[in-house]
Amino acid sequence: MTILPIVVSPDPRLKQVSAPVDEVTDEIRTLLDDMLETMYYAKGIGLSAVQVGVMKRVVVVDVEWGSSRYDQEDEDDDHVHHDGCCHHYEAPEPGNPIKMVNPEVIASSDHNVPYNEGCLSFPAQYSEVIRPDAVTVRYLDEHGKEQILEAEGLLATCIQHEIDHTNGITFVDHISKIKRDMILRKMKKAEKLRASEME
Ligand code: NI
């Protein structure tokens, strides 16, 4: 699996609509695996293909994975099992990765809830976004089989955020203009800084 570079704002690709996937091929399965690996590495809970520069309607989410798998692995290296007993060994929390191709919301709850959202394409930026607290999503799994998922709570929030990405929409499009402009200004500043460092 490969850890891919993440596209960050103000990259114009984040505003583009991604194309539907015609067929779930090995290439798409590899993309799904690489996206999951990239998401865990970046300590995210969701990632859309546009965020790794692939303009396809492909999304991964895992809102249940352990807080920091990569730090954990480093610690495990120097862990000594004195007596074969694993009392002190803290295994990473098992996650629940979901791989979705062409996902779409087919029903949503009338009840809206706020959540303080962030995004790997807007590092260190957070803002409260109000969305339906439950959604029904239809998608193709990694074998090309249609699945229907009823999600609520954080999973519902995360899936809506990622499907937005496939439509060229980011979380800042859901917040007030004042907050949005503030975040976009910070992202532009950070981009200039990166450019100047590369000169
Ligand atoms: Ni995002």
Distance 164 CA to ligand 1 centre (A): 8
Whether 5 is covered by a domain: the verdict is no
Mean pLDDT, rounded, for 71-98: 50
Tell me what the pLDDT averaged over the chain comes to: 89
Q: What are phi and psi of 165, to 5 degrees?
A: -55, -40
pTM of the model as a whole: 0.86
Distance 170 CA to ligand 1 centre (A): 6
Higher pLDDT, 23 or 1: 23
pLDDT band at 93 (very low <50, low <70, confident <90, very high): low
Whether 1 is covered by a domain: the verdict is no
Q: State the catalytic residues.
A: 162
- Say if CB 93 and CB 67 are below 8 A apart: yes
Q: Which residues contact 27 (CB under 8 A, 6 or more apart)?
A: none
Measured between alpha carbons, how far is residue 5 from residues 2, 50, 106 in Å? 10, 11, 31
Mean pLDDT, rounded, for 23-41: 96
pLDDT band at 196 (very low <50, low <70, confident <90, very high): very high
pLDDT of residue 18: 98
pLDDT band at 77 (very low <50, low <70, confident <90, very high): very low
Distance 141 CA to ligand 1 centre (A): 21
Q: What CATH number has the domain bearing residue 117?
A: 3.90.45.10
User: Percent of the chain scored above 70 by pLDDT?
Assistant: 85
**Cα torsion through 88, 93, 94, 95, rounded to 10:** -170
Whether 7 is covered by a domain: the verdict is no
Domain extent at residue 109: 12-198
Whether 190 is covered by a domain: the verdict is yes
Distance 64 CA to ligand 1 centre (A): 17
Whether 107 is covered by a domain: the verdict is yes
- pLDDT (tens digit per residue) in 133-179: 999 999 999 999 999 999 999 999 999 999 999 999 999 999 999 99
Among 126, 104, 107, CA closest to 116? 126
pLDDT of residue 94: 52
Whether 2 is covered by a domain: the verdict is no
| One-letter amino acid for residue 47 of the chain | L
Count up the domains in the chain and report the number.
Answer: 1
Distance 8 CA to ligand 1 centre (A): 10
Whether 121 is covered by a domain: the verdict is yes
Whether 6 is covered by a domain: the verdict is no
